[in-house]
């Protein structure tokens, strides 16, 4: 009996390129429970987007191909479905939103038509019912004066509003799973805050499970239950959100967390930096792909691929020294707790703004 | 006396760049033929991207300029170098008003002020080798050529963390972070005094952002540079800057030391901006309450009258639509443009309903 809504098992998605086979996703596994939000964090080339395009079966073939693995959605392996069956799931039971709303909105079609098309197709709504539903969806995502604006074209909306329209489209059929790929990266911070609040609220209202893909650790911190950190097509760490932030067990995760500027630091202080460049996935070294950039890498790391080490029932890290890194994080956490202040509490963001929010 | 209080001038330190009342307006055309002939402006559309900005950059400091897209921060940076032409105002740099220089004079002056761009993919000529990209300014200004230029290029590459082995390569052979290093090396080639860095880390991966910020800070010490650091990323601006100016729809709305802007912001807009930044800490994210601003930034074509933030401001009153708030020194060295606060009561939450103590500065500013 599989409880998870989505269960990805040993997924490998490769691309053929001039430089040889690019293992964009290489043996990735994770579970997503119903009603849960999973964050997938990684830099460019980490494989985070390809993982989710694989789930949606949207990998362009050729040059891409899903080499092996299982993608169990409600226990059914999506990789065994026919293209037609998959089309019935996509948009209806699994929906996706992208960084740039214009990739999914047709610039020549009125918003109304684009929203109605989905429910007419997937749910068999009549025109009148589909139209009423379209207006209701726009209201739910916070488009003011929705009844009047439903017949607008996408260009008549601002970037933040387009992102809302795309979310309305994605949620039209009440999907069981929403995949959001960098949904706020192109937006300003105040608009990003609006969209993140919206996703959070809609998730609570509808019970939809969410996969949130981002490079921004700040975005996932407030919104997710679990996080997986990807690097070079592999899952480097997988943990509940709080554990990942307080006791990371992978040097790459630790490095990422430390390289974000802390507003409490005085100006001029050097930031922690991960040396080197994100990996060229077509030319990975034989051992750990992060070894060339890792401060604690030893000869072993350059020679042998690291094991996936389990540190707690739901905490895994891909590292030869995962236990040592984890122990170090635990010590650092205890030291912070003893000093009474977490590093976070000092941050400017902690100032009391609550009475101003209403 | 009041004018002194109102003008956000340098605090004793030497001003390297002194921008006064800078305006950059773009005429989008529009209006009918007769409107244009008769000088009517019925449907004429003018974008006031920068609309009366007064700002001084002190020698050796990093001044951060932060704001959302469309606020005019990039246009401001470009207008300083005359990459876009100012519509009005002065840009005094090393004692000369750049806005009044001839094209040729300006070209010579650019030796002393350089720019780093957001998109290292777009700002480097793909058909030029790294050597030619970095050497071009040296050769243009006749400072070095041939072997000597090669040697200078190698030295610059080392200084920005690029291996001189790559001197013959083309931009496409480099990653985003490396390309940004090439852009930085080119900007440094002429030993400028001031570098305008326009979103220099926004297009880069997280792990690379820290590298570039560290590099910029190290180069600042080594080359005694002054930076105008333009970004929408508050965390980065806070980390990089000595002082921060916050821009909204073409105007500076707050200016203070970086720590003060981040920890004790005065303007409702700045507060909202800071509260909107996601913090990479689940404990904080769970507890904090965001100030979520309603709506979008209004169009700069027809900006709201008076205070431009009033349409989204939870503290706006009728007077806010009537008067343009001047930038006033509310606390020592902490300037804000809001008529609802004053040196007597800088906390807008505590200001009595419909009270606008700042109105007295409006008359003073207009008279000045």
Instruction: Note the pLDDT tens digit of each residue in B306-365.
Output: 999 999 999 999 999 999 999 999 999 999 999 999 999 999 988 888 888 888 888 777
Alpha-carbon A15 to chain mean position: 21
- Using the predicted structure, report yes or no on whether residue A202 has a pLDDT greater than 50: yes
- Using the predicted structure, report yes or no on whether residue A350 has a pLDDT greater than 60: no
Alpha-carbon A34 to chain mean position: 16
CA distances from A213 to A97, A113, A171, A340, B254 (A): 10, 28, 17, 33, 34
Q: Are B307 and B327 in contact (CB under 8 A)?
A: no
Mean pLDDT, range A311-328, rounded to an integer = 96
How confident is the model at residue A327, as a pLDDT?
A: 96
Write the DSSP symbol of residue A281.
G
Task: Give the nearest partner residue to B276 out of A193, A256, A260, using CB atoms.
Answer: A193
Q: Which residue of B has its CA nearest to A226?
A: B282
- Least confident segment among A322-331, B263-272, B346-355: B346-355
- Using the predicted structure, report yes or no on whether residue B40 has a pLDDT greater than 80: no
- What is the least distance, in Å, from the CA of B98 to any CA of chain A? 30
Please list every residue in chain A whose beta carbon sits closer than 8 Å to the beta carbon of residue B292: 190, 193-194, 197, 357
- Least confident segment among A2-11, A76-85, A248-257, B97-106: A2-11
Q: Hey, which of B28-32, B57-61, B293-297 has the most confident mean pLDDT?
A: B57-61
Among residues A58, A55, A60, the alpha carbon closest in space to that of A28 is found at A55
Whether A242 and B238 lie within 8 Å, measured CB to CB: no
- Using the predicted structure, report yes or no on whether residue A225 has a pLDDT greater than 90: yes
Q: Which residue has the tokens 């959605």?
A: A73
Q: Which residue of B has its CA nearest to A265?
A: B239
- Using the predicted structure, report yes or no on whether residue A358 has a pLDDT greater than 80: no
Name the A residues in 200-219 with CB < 8 Å from any B CB.
Answer: 215-219
Whether A357 and B258 lie within 8 Å, measured CB to CB: no
Partner residues linked to B20 by β-bridges: B90
Q: Are A196 and A219 in contact (CB under 8 A)?
A: yes
Going by pLDDT thresholds of 50, 70 and 90, the confidence category of residue B111 is very high
- Least confident segment among A191-205, A217-231, B57-71: A191-205
Q: Does B266 touch chain A (CB under 8 A)?
A: no
Whether B291 and A357 lie within 8 Å, measured CB to CB: yes
Mean pLDDT, range B153-158, rounded to an integer = 95
Whether A356 and B208 lie within 8 Å, measured CB to CB: no
SS3 content of chain A, % helix, strand, coil (to 5): 40, 20, 40
How confident is the model at residue A197, as a pLDDT?
A: 85
How confident is the model at residue B302, as a pLDDT?
A: 82
Angle, CA of B344, B350 and B354, to the nearest 5°: 90
Q: Which residues are within 8 A (CB) of A132 and not within 5 positions of it... i.e. 6 or more apart?
A: none
Angle, CA of A120, A126 and A129, to the nearest 5°: 100
How confident is the model at residue A82, as a pLDDT?
A: 93
**Structure-model confidence comparison of residues A299 and B45, the more confident one:** A299
Q: What is the rounded distance in angstroms from the CA atom of residue A150 to the CA atom of residue B219?
A: 52
Task: Give the nearest partner residue to B278 out of A218, A261, A293, using CB atoms.
Answer: A218
Among residues A80, A102, A84, the alpha carbon closest in space to that of A92 is found at A84
- Using the predicted structure, report yes or no on whether residue A351 has a pLDDT greater than 50: no
Q: Which residues are within 8 A (CB) of B136 and not within 5 positions of it... i.e. 6 or more apart?
A: B128, B186
Q: Which residue of B has its CA nearest to A275?
A: B211
How confident is the model at residue A5, as a pLDDT?
A: 94
Q: What are phi and psi of B349, to 5 degrees?
A: -65, -25
Mean pLDDT, range A90-112, rounded to an integer = 86
Cα torsion A85, A90, A91, A94: sign: positive
CA distances from B345 to A285, B268, B284, B315, B351 (A): 62, 14, 29, 14, 7
Q: What is the rounded distance in angstroms from the CA atom of residue B291 to the CA atom of residue B285?
A: 13
Whether B259 and A273 lie within 8 Å, measured CB to CB: no
Please list every residue in chain A whose beta carbon sits closer than 8 Å to the beta carbon of residue B235: 260-261, 263
Q: Does B347 touch chain A (CB under 8 A)?
A: no
Q: Which residue of A has its CA nearest to B258?
A: A267
Going by pLDDT thresholds of 50, 70 and 90, the confidence category of residue A164 is confident
Q: Does B205 touch chain A (CB under 8 A)?
A: yes
Q: What percent of chain B lies above the pLDDT cut of 90? A: 64
* Tens-place pLDDT, residues B345-362: 999 988 888 888 888 888
How confident is the model at residue A357, as a pLDDT?
A: 35
How confident is the model at residue A13, as a pLDDT?
A: 95
Q: Which residue has the tokens 């003011």?
A: A144
Q: Which residue has the tokens 């920005």?
A: B160
- Using the predicted structure, report yes or no on whether residue A1 has a pLDDT greater than 80: no
Helix (H, G, I), strand (E, B) or coil at B115: strand
Please list every residue in chain B whose beta carbon sits closer than 8 Å to the beta carbon of residue A292: none
Q: Which helix (H) or strand (E) holds B77?
A: helix B73-80
Q: What is the rounded distance in angstroms from the CA atom of residue A155 to the CA atom of residue A149?
A: 12
Q: Are B238 and B296 in contact (CB under 8 A)?
A: no
- Using the predicted structure, report yes or no on whether residue B255 has a pLDDT greater than 80: yes
Q: Which helix (H) or strand (E) holds A53?
A: helix A48-55
CA distances from A230 to A314, A319, B225, B284, B301 (A): 16, 13, 38, 24, 43
Partner residues linked to A13 by β-bridges: A25, A66
Instruction: Give the best residue of A155, A189, A230, A280 to mutate against chain B (max B CB count within 10 A).
Output: A189
Alpha-carbon B133 to chain mean position: 25
Q: Which residue of B has its CA nearest to A219?
A: B278
How confident is the model at residue B135, as a pLDDT?
A: 95
Mean pLDDT, range A117-126, rounded to an integer = 91
ipTM exceeding cut-off 0.90 for this assembly: no
Helix (H, G, I), strand (E, B) or coil at A134: helix
Q: What is the rounded distance in angstroms from the CA atom of residue B51 to the CA atom of residue B301?
A: 12
Taking phi over 0 as left and psi of -120 to 50 as alpha, with beta for the rest, B111 belongs to alpha
* Tens-place pLDDT, residues A275-309: 988 888 888 888 999 999 999 999 999 999 999 99
Partner residues linked to A72 by β-bridges: A7, A77
Q: Are B274 and B265 in contact (CB under 8 A)?
A: yes
Task: Give the nearest partner residue to A349 out of B62, B282, B288, using CB atoms.
Answer: B288
Mean pLDDT, range B30-37, rounded to an integer = 60
Strands, E, within chain B: which ranges?
15-27, 46-58, 62-66, 88-93, 96-97, 113-116, 194-198, 226-231, 243-248, 251-257, 328-331, 334-336
How confident is the model at residue A103, as a pLDDT?
A: 74
Please list every residue in chain B whose beta carbon sits closer than 8 Å to the beta carbon of residue A257: 280
- Using the predicted structure, report yes or no on whether residue B249 has a pLDDT greater than 80: yes
């Amino acid at each position: 009996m599989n409880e998870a809504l989505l269960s990805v098992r040993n997924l490998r998605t490769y691309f053929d390129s001039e430089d040889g086979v690019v293992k964009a996703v290489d043996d990735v596994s994770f579970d997503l429970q119903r009603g849960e939000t999973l964050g997938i964090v990684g830099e460019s080339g980490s494989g985070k987007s390809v993982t989710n395009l694989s789930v949606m079966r949207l990998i362009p073939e050729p040059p891409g191909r899903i080499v092996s693995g299982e993608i169990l959605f409600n226990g059914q392996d999506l990789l065994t479905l026919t293209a037609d069956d998959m089309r019935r799931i996509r948009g209806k039971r699994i929906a996706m939103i992208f960084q740039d709303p214009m990739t999914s909105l047709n610039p020549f079609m009125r918003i109304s038509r684009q929203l109605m098309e989905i429910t007419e197709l997937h749910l068999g709504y009549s025109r009148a019912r589909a139209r009423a539903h379209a207006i209701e969806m726009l209201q739910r995502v916070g488009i003011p004066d929705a009844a009047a604006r439903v017949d607008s074209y996408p260009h008549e909306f601002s970037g933040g509003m387009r992102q809302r329209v795309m979310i309305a489209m994605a949620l039209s059929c009440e999907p069981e799973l929403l995949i959001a790929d960098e949904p706020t990266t192109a937006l300003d911070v105040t608009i990003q805050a609006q969209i993140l609040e919206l996703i959070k609220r809609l998730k609570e209202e509808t019970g939809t499970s969410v996969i949130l893909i981002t490079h921004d650790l700040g975005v996932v911190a407030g919104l997710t239950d679990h996080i997986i950190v990807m690097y070079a097509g592999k899952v480097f760490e997988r943990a509940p959100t709080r554990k990942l932030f307080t006791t990371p067990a992978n040097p790459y995760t630790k490095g990422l967390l430390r390289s974000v500027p802390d507003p409490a630091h005085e100006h001029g202080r050097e930031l922690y930096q991960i040396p080197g460049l994100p990996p060229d996935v077509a030319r990975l070294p034989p051992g750990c792909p992060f070894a060339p950039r890792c401060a604690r890498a030893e000869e072993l790391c350059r020679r042998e691929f690291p094991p996936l080490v389990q540190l707690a029932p739901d905490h895994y890290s891909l590292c030869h020294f995962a236990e040592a890194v984890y122990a170090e994080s635990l010590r650092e956490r205890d030291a912070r707790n003893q000093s009474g202040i977490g590093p976070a509490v000092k941050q400017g963001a902690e100032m009391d703004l609550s009475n101003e929010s209403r | 006396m009041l004018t002194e209080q109102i003008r956000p001038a340098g605090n004793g330190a030497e001003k390297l760049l002194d921008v006064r009342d800078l305006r950059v307006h773009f005429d989008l055309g529009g209006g009918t033929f007769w409107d244009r002939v008769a000088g009517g402006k019925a449907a004429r559309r003018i974008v006031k991207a920068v609309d009366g900005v007064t700002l001084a950059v002190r020698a050796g400091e990093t001044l951060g300029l932060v704001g959302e897209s469309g606020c005019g921060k990039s246009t401001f940076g470009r207008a300083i170098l005359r990459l876009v032409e100012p519509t009005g105002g002065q840009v005094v740099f090393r004692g000369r008003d750049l806005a009044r220089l001839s094209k040729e004079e300006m070209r010579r002056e650019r030796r002393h002020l350089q720019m780093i761009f957001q998109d290292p993919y777009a700002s480097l000529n793909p058909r030029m080798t790294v050597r030619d990209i970095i050497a071009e300014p040296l050769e243009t200004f006749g400072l070095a050529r041939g072997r000597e230029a090669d040697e200078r290029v190698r030295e610059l590459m080392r200084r920005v963390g690029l291996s001189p082995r790559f001197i013959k390569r083309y931009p496409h052979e480099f990653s985003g972070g490396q390309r940004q290093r090439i852009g930085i090396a080119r900007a440094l080639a002429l030993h400028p005094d001031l570098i305008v860095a326009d979103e220099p880390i926004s297009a880069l991966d997280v792990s690379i952002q820290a590298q570039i910020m560290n590099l910029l800070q190290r180069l600042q010490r080594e080359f005694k540079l002054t930076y105008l650091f333009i970004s929408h990323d508050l965390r980065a601006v806070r980390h990089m800057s000595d002082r921060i100016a916050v821009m909204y729809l073409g105007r500076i709305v707050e200016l203070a030391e970086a720590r003060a802007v981040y920890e004790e912001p005065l303007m409702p807009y700045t507060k909202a901006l800071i509260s909107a930044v996601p913090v990479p800490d689940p404990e904080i994210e769970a507890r904090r309450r965001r100030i979520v601003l309603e709506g979008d930034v209004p169009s700069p074509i027809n900006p709201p009258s008076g205070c431009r933030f009033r349409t989204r401001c939870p503290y706006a009153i009728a007077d806010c639509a009537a008067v343009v708030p001047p930038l006033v020194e509310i606390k020592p060295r902490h300037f804000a443009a809001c008529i609802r606060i004053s040196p007597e009561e800088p906390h807008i939450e505590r200001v009595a309903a419909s009270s606008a103590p700042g109105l007295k500065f409006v008359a003073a500013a207009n008279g000045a």
